[in-house]
């Protein structure tokens, strides 16, 4: 058996990843498939913290564009990430994966509060940790959460699961000539405006030298391949 290249990773799952073909809300079958992939990784001994997005339910910017107070709309977005996290937790538990959900906004009846040292301890004990509620602050994103938590828990890489198999110079879904990058630097990603993650998240990754692997979640086994160091998707570093 090949040993994983990374021993501690942050996996970023966008809310959309949980929606599947529904495009909205949570598709339990899709969540189940993701949980199966995560189980494989957890069983290989890789310590795993998962940051879950909320865009399949609510995005703060969309609410504020329609006149809502931005901070209020963002708190709703953070709550959406908690719903997604609970769905994923449930699916992981059904696959017998020991899991703990931790929230950045306290709601003790629902999950543990996020405490950095406790999160690390859970991972050391072989538990998968789901980090819900984003950073706990409005005006941020769950991409920034992934970057922040990766720095805090000293993860070696962020695995960003998408619905495309990497980063392209333009949208591959609308332009068949789109060229895929195998390797990219953060500076290039930011200056080209490639839209992989927001600039706050990108700067945090760059400043803290945390590499990012963008890959296609729909291809089963890809999370494990990424942890093994197989060259899938696009690697962003430097
Ligand atoms: N959000 C926030 N602060 C955070 C993380 C998330 O305010 O630290 C809110 C924000 O409104 C965002 C929503 O939660 O639009 C859902 O998160 P995100 O858009 O990052 O989810 P994804 O696109 O990954 O599904």
Residue 116, exposed/middle/buried by CB under 10 A (0-12, 13-18, 19+)? Answer: exposed
Contact between 227 and 4 under an 8 Å Cβ cutoff? The reply is: yes
Tens of pLDDT, residue by residue over 85-96, are 999 999 999 999
Domain extent listing, the chain: 8-237
Residue 207, exposed/middle/buried by CB under 10 A (0-12, 13-18, 19+)? Answer: exposed
Phi/psi of residue 129, each to 5°? Answer: -110, 130
Pairwise CA distance, residues 145 & 147, whole Å: 5
| Angle made by CA atoms 199, 203, 204, in degrees to the nearest 5 | 120
* Complex ipTM value: 0.99
pLDDT in tens, the chain (238 residues): 788 999 999 999 999 999 988 789 999 999 999 999 999 999 999 999 999 999 999 999 999 999 999 999 999 999 999 999 999 999 999 999 999 999 999 999 999 999 999 999 999 999 999 999 999 999 999 999 999 999 999 999 999 999 899 999 998 889 999 999 999 999 999 999 998 999 999 999 999 999 999 999 999 999 999 999 999 999 999 8
Ligand 1 residue neighbourhood (C-beta within 6 Å): 14-16, 53-55, 59-61, 74, 77-78, 80-81, 134-135, 137-138, 140-143, 145
Ligand 1 pocket mutation pick from 18, 59, 212 by most atoms within 8 angstroms of CB: 59
Ligand 1 pocket mutation pick from 77, 114, 196 by most atoms within 8 angstroms of CB: 77
Cα-to-centroid distance, 134 and ligand 1 (Å):
6
pLDDT given for residue 21 in this prediction: 84
Pairwise CA distance, residues 79 & 111, whole Å: 12
Supply 42's token pair: 């957890």
Tens of pLDDT, residue by residue over 192-237, are 999 899 999 999 999 999 999 999 999 999 999 999 999 999 999 9
Torsion of CA 59, 62, 67, 73, to 10 degrees: 0
The ligand 1 atom nearest the CA atom of 59: 15
Residue with the two structure tokens 């495309």: 164
Kindly provide the b/e burial profile for residues 1-40, where b requires at least 16 CB atoms within 10 angstroms of the residue's own CB.
Answer: eeebebebbbbbbbbbbbbbeeeeebbeebbbbbbbbbbb
Topology of the domain covering 8-237: Carbamate kinase (3.40.1160)
- From 159, 92, 91, select the one nearest 126 (Cα to Cα): 92
């Amino acid at each position: 058996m090949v040993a994983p290249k990374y021993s501690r990773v942050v996996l970023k799952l966008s809310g959309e990843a949980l929606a599947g073909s529904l495009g909205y809300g949570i598709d339990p079958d899709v969540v189940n498939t993701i949980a199966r992939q995560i189980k494989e990784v957890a069983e290989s001994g890789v310590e795993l913290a998962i940051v879950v997005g909320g865009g399949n339910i609510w995005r703060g910017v969309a609410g504020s564009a329609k006149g809502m107070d931005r901070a209020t709309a963002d708190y709703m977005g953070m709550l959406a990430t908690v719903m997604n996290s609970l769905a994923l937790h449930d699916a992981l538990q059904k696959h017998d994966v020991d899991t703990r959900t931790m929230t950045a906004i306290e709601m003790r009846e629902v999950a543990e509060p996020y405490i950095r040292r406790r999160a690390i301890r859970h991972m050391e004990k072989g538990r998968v940790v789901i980090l819900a509620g984003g950073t706990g602050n409005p005006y941020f994103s769950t991409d920034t959460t992934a970057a922040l938590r990766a720095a805090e828990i000293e993860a070696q890489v962020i695995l960003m699961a998408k619905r495309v198999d990497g980063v392209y110079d333009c949208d591959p879904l609308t332009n068949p000539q789109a060229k895929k990058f195998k390797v990219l630097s953060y500076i290039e990603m930011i200056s080209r405006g490639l839209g992989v993650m927001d600039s706050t998240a990108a700067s945090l990754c760059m400043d803290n030298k945390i590499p990012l692997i963008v890959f296609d979640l729909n291809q089963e086994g890809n999370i494990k391949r990424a942890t093994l160091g197989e060259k899938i998707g696009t690697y962003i570093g430097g």
